[in-house]
Structures are given as structure tokens and as C-alpha cells.
Amino acid sequence: MTLPLTGIRVLDITNVLAGPFCSYQLALLGAEVIKIEQPGRGDLARMLGADPAAAARLMGASFVAVNAGKQSVTLNLKAPEGKEIFKKFVLISHVVLENFRPKVMKRLQLDYDVVSKINPSIVYCAVSGFGQDGPLAMRPAYDQVIQGISGVMSVTGDAQSAPLRVGYPVCDTLGGITAALAVCAALVDSRVSGRGRMIDVSMLEATLASMGWVVSNYLNAGVVPIPMGNENFTAAPSGTFRTADGLLNIAANETYQFEKLCDLIGRPELKTDPRFSDREIRKRNRASINKEVEQALSARSAAEWESLLTEAGVPVGRVLSVPEILSHSHLAERNFVTTFDSPQGSQRVTRGGFVLSVDDAVPASPAPVLSEHTELWLAKLGYDATKILKLRNAGVI
């Protein structure tokens, strides 16, 4: 068996994270992703990341994170010859993915109206901060900005620290996942009907859509969400607790879980305490129940409590650092990290959040060197060595 998107060719003109994260998911599912990059410079993410030497080689850690399994072709889309080459790619592709600001592709005369005439079955996906229209459409799209405007920061942190940024580019990531889902759905229809379509992905709206419970509590119950730190607004005791050694997340969201927790920490009387005898009452007395639980947890370490509570069926987990979870035997057993040894240095990349039953959805190759596949593809498109050299000297590729 082959991966689900085997045979699908994606023309990827995206930069940095939201768009590249989308095409990375498609590559993991088997699509052939041709990454169109600016000659000489490439994706900005090539210059980003915690390893300055790698960034200087245009293979920054930020780029490596979401570009394994892709091919790199450099193309100046402002040049007439570059537009011509791009259109030839469109003719043999199934998806065009871009994350320019709205109207950029129209100015380049390569927008959906143009490419759909070349290839009527093309699925064209535009990822932007705010969507292709509306009062905010033309604003620059940066994750930090979207986090603030979307309300994410307003509910992150606690009463003292909020508004607080989520510790990774969550809005870029959600935009990319949303785009990948929409592209896959549109491909199903395109393969059946022969009809392509335009997909308009808004990072703002993708983020708000992911905040379903918080948004619904306001829309349908009139409850304005507030920052609650590590507390769970749906239940108590449900949050982060100090132990004799380390932090522990406990999610005793259901009554039977709360009762088991009380027994295991040696405080069975809490089950019948009038302050805690009902789910809604516990939420109103959150501070009191948390104090009682945390006091009892001081008798053991987080690792010991994790083992005891898990065995009893109480949802629990230690609070780990990124290095701690990446070195965990669970991820090793599930082959979450793939290592590539290449002339450009070792690359360690993660797969998506899924495993397929037959073929493992892991990247097939390391992140490409800038322009690594340009000449290969131009030859496939009918350009001979002389013409390729002329295009290179003219700065088209």
C-alpha cells in the first residue's frame, strides 16, 4: 500500500511557518511537495533558529523543522520567464499553496483566476493572517499579533500574568493544520469531479475555531472567559499541583475520579465535605480543594504520584520539559523523531501527530538545500542545459 496522497503534486510558494507546516503535513501523507523559493535567499526560515552556523548556511533549525521531505526549486516570480515556468508547474500539479498577503498573487498575475484557467482541477489554498477580504485583510500576519487579536493571550496566564503569549507559534500552527485539512477535503472532490476550488484560510479564524469551548461559553452562555493559569475552568480539582519533588497535572474532572483521588491521597473525608460534595460546588471552592489536595501531595514525588494515580484511573501526568518528553521511551517506541545524516549536517525532525496502519507517515528525505532540485525540474519541463544557464545568469532561477 502507498501513502494516502501518493501521486499528488503540491506547488508550495509559502514561507516561514503556517504555509510550510501545511505542506509538511501533506508531504508526510505522501504528496510530492515542490517548494518554490526566492533565488539566492529562499524561505526566511532558512535564516532562523537556535543554531547560528546552520542559519548562516541557509539551513536554520526553524526551516528544518517543517521542510523535510520537500524539494527546493528557486524561481523569480516577478520575471516573465519565471511566471512562464510557474505556469508549466501548475499544469502538472494538483495543489497551489501560498501564504502571501492578499492581492500579492493577483499583482503577480498568478492568482486563482489565472491558474484555474491553466488547470481547472487545481486546488488553490491561500493562507493569511485574516483572510482574503474584510477590514483586517491587508495587515501583516505574525503569530504574536494573531495571538493578541484572537483573544488567546487574554485567557493565557493567570490574573497576575495575563495577557500572556503561548510559548510557541500556536496560531501559525493552527493555520497550517486547518489548511492541510481543507486541501485534503478539496482534493477528494477534485479527483471525483475534476473541479478545483479556491480555499481561503484565515489564521485568526482557525485560532478562534480551535477555542471552541471558550468561544461557545461566551456566545451561548454569555460568560466572558478569564485567565485561570493552570486551572481547568470546567472542573476542580483539575490543574497543576506541587508535590515533594516536581509538578503534577491532575484532571479529576468526574466525581468518581475525584473520589478515587481523595482515597489515594489519604483524605477520604473530602468526599463528603459540604464544600466539595458536588461538581459545581467544587468549582466554586476551587482554592480550598486545591489547598487540601496539594498539602496531601507533599508526601510523595510527582513521579510516585503519577504511577499511583494512573494505576487507579485518575488522569494525571508530570509537568515535563521539552528535552524530557523528547527523550521519553514512549516517543522512541513510536518512532516520533527521524534522523537524517546529510552533507549539510545531521537533521532530526518530527513526524505529524498520527501513525498510519501500513506505511509510516515519516518524512522521506531531509529538508532540501536551497535550489537543490531546480535543474532537475527544469529539465523535466523541457529546458536544456543552455537555457537553464541563461535563466540562472538572468536571476530567474
For 300, other C-beta atoms within 10 Å of its C-beta total: 17
For residue 109, the 8-state DSSP code is T
Count CB atoms within 10 A of the CB of residue 50.
9
Contact at 8 Å (CB) between 358 and 367? no
Name the residues annotated as catalytic.
172
List strands edge to edge, sheet with 316-318.
238-242, 247-251, 316-318
Q: Are strands 70-74 and 32-37 parallel, antiparallel or unpaired?
A: parallel
Determine the Cα–Cα distance for residues 231 and 273; give it in Å rounded to an integer: 21
Q: Which amino acid is at 13?
A: I
Query: Are 351 and 363 contacting, i.e. CB atoms less than 8 angstroms apart?
Result: yes
Supply 332's cell numbers: 522512541
What Rg value do the Cα atoms of the chain yield, rounded? Answer: 25
Rounded to the nearest 5 percent, the helix, strand and coil shares of the chain are 45, 15, 45
Distance CA 185, CA 208 (A): 21
- CA 157 to CA 138: how far, in whole Å? 30
Pick from 395, 367, 382: nearest CA to 35: 367
